[in-house]
Structure 1
Amino acid sequence: MQVGTANVRRILVYGGSSVNLIMLDVLKAMKISEDQITKKFSVLVGFSGAIKNTLAEIYLPTYAEGVASYERSRVLNCLSSYNVILGRPWIHNVKADPSTYHQCIKILTDWGVATIKAPPRMETDQVILNPEYPDRYVLVGSDAPDSVKPKLKRRKFAPERNAIINEEMDKLLDMGMIREVMYPE
């Protein structure tokens, strides 16, 4: 989605937020000039009662699937999984219909109804950190650098056991229960 002068990823559309939020790091990456940012401190209280202070306020254009709007966003300086959180002000302004179940947003445009779908989830590989504790693992993105991925050694089995293992593997592959993963050596 286009926010300001940049194509921003990791945007949460959340009807539970009464304000639009943008992280300070995003504004720095966009190289927004100081005169566009209004120093305006306010307090945000989360559902759990957690309190965050905003640093400023900024008006930025947003563009989503043919619908342009000019939005007021509060600036936060904190770590977040999202770069921008679009709340009820944006949802009502563009007449969006977000669906968490379908992982999409429908927006009425001049050309009809546009659907913005969430990107597919990143595939991950499970990496066991210590063989003595197989229940302790981390998930590593499949497209992670090779230096992060595990270096597995192929185990040798007796020929009769190898045939049984291959037969079971073929069954699981055919059923779609497992998939083949190739690791560089």
Structure 2
Amino acid sequence: MRSNPRSDLGRRREQEPERKKTSPPAMGLIKMISGGSTDGDFNRARKSRSRRDCMEVEGMRRNEAVIGFGPEDLKGINLPHNDALVIQDRVANYDILRVFVDSSSSVNVIFKDAFTQMDLQGYHLEAIETALFGFAGHVVYPEGEIVLPLTLGSQDLKKTVMTPFTVVDSPSSYNIILGRPAMNELRAVASTYHQKIKFPVGARVGEVRGDQPSSRKCYMEAVQADQSKTKREGKRARVDEVGGRVVEKGEVHFVAEEEQEVVEVGPGQQIRVARDLHPSTRELTGISPLISEHQLNILPGSHPVKQKKRHFGPEKDKVIDEHIRDLLNAGHIREVQFPT
């Protein structure tokens, strides 16, 4: 008896598990390092790399160790934490501190400050054309690329691979960033929670423990550098015109009394201004309140804030009293009595 192909197809569909709905694709990664010559600058280099990867997979040893993490890997870790994985490794026979393990980076990066301290005679720095993206949100053009020996582990549980490093002239708290190329060459697995990298060494597993104090120090340095940069950029953006010249706002200017003159601003009201004050600024002193007046918009029903009296010591109190007396005599402030 022949079976009906359509009924067999329907039966197989009923026996198949329900397919999971695919989630929408991610919009992208923020501030990750991408680009570079991971697969070569040109198509020929990419094809060569692809063939080499296929040969490595086919020739992989079947007795390679299985890597895992457990509670014993948390010994000596300060918990809870959100620390990045920062380790020490050996590159071209140099012990390098502050090595940031970043699996989202498409390249291994060695920063120029660290690169110039290494005597790398016998290694060739090759020019590359591909830019990098992700360094503080802007594009960086590398100094070049160099293939160096990278060693992880110690004693008999260590592993050395030849891997490319992209030399970047950019400020950083780190000396090196280990990206996917190095991690894949080592067949390594990183756990930021366990603060460890593990990698197969034959049938055994080698490991490198992260340096939490160094990780936190690098983080603080990066935050402070970003804050300083923001302040510098903000200060450059805030400019004003004084005496016909452009100056930064917040800059304090002292004008000698002989360089000042008295200006009438109202009936019986005078102020002193600099003689070389720009005309556009000088006109502001004579604007009538009917045209323009500054007010403080206070919500109805708001009450004054009452603070406890503070004592600064006899010497400071004397200086404060003198400043208050000067302001009172100049008419800039007046005493107000509150009922409470």
Structure 2 length as normaliser, TM-score? 0.34
Instruction: Summarize the alignment of residues 36-55 of structure 1 with structure 2, pairs less than 5 Å apart.
Output: 36-46=124-134, 49-55=137-143
* AA of the residue aligned to 1:91: M
1:95 to 187, 194, 200: 187
Structure-2 residue corresponding to 1:30: 118
Q: Which residue of 1 aligns with 2:61?
A: none
Structure with higher Rg: it is 2
Measure the CA separation in 1 of the matches of 2:140 and 2:122. 22
Structure 1 residues 47 and 12: CA distance shift in structure 2, 3 A: same
Instruction: Say whether the 8 Å CA contact 2:123–2:147 is kept in structure 1.
Output: no
CA distance in 2, matches of 1:83, 1:75: 11
1:19 to 63, 86, 107: 107
Q: Percent identity?
A: 30
For residues 135 and 93 of structure 2, the distance between their equivalents in structure 1, rounded to whole angstroms, comes to: 32
Runs (5+) with no aligned partner, structure 2:
1-88, 218-340
Secondary structure of 1:26 counterpart: helix
**How far apart in 1 are the matches of 2:121 and 2:104?**
30
Whether the 8 Å CA contact 2:123–2:148 is kept in 1: the answer is no
In the alignment, the residues of structure 2 paired with residue 35 and residue 41 of structure 1 have an alpha-carbon distance, to the nearest angstrom, of 19
**Is 1:113 aligned to 2:201, yes or no?**
no
* TM-score where L is the length of structure 1: 0.61
RMSD between aligned alpha carbons?
2.2
**Any idea what the Cα deviations from partners look like across 1:83-136, whole Å, max 9, x if unmatched?**
110101111111100011111111111261122111241699xxxxxxxxxxxx
Please give the alpha-carbon distance, in whole angstroms, between the structure 2 residues aligned to 1:76 and 1:69.
Answer: 21
Return the letter of the residue paired with 1:6.
Answer: Y
Corresponding letter in the other structure for 1:8: I
Gaps (5+ residues) in structure 1? 125-185
Q: Contact (CA 8 Å) 2:195, 2:210: kept in 1 or not?
A: yes
The residue aligned with 2:91 is: 3
2:150/2:162 contact within 8 Å kept: yes
SS of corresponding position for 1:38: coil
Task: Tell me how far apart the structure 2 counterparts of residues 38 and 80 of structure 1 sit (CA, whole Å).
Answer: 22
Where 1:121 maps in the other structure, the secondary structure is helix
**How far apart are residue 40 of structure 1 and its match?**
2.2
1:64 and 2:156 matched: no
Structure 1 residue 35: Cα displacement: 5.8
Q: Does the CA-based 8 Å contact 1:2-1:62 persist in structure 2? A: yes
Tell me which protein shows more strand as a share of its residues: 1
Letter of the structure 1 residue corresponding to residue 208 of structure 2: I
Q: Cα offset for 1:6? A: 0.6
Offset at 1:4?
Answer: 1.1
Query: What amino acid is the match of 1:114?
Result: G
Q: What is the identity, as a one-letter code, of the residue corresponding to 1:52? A: V
Cα distance change, pair 51–34 in 1 and its aligned pair in 2 (3 A): farther
Asked if the contact 2:133–2:140 (Cα under 8 Å) also holds between the matched residues in 1, the reply is yes
| Residue aligned with 1:39, SS | coil
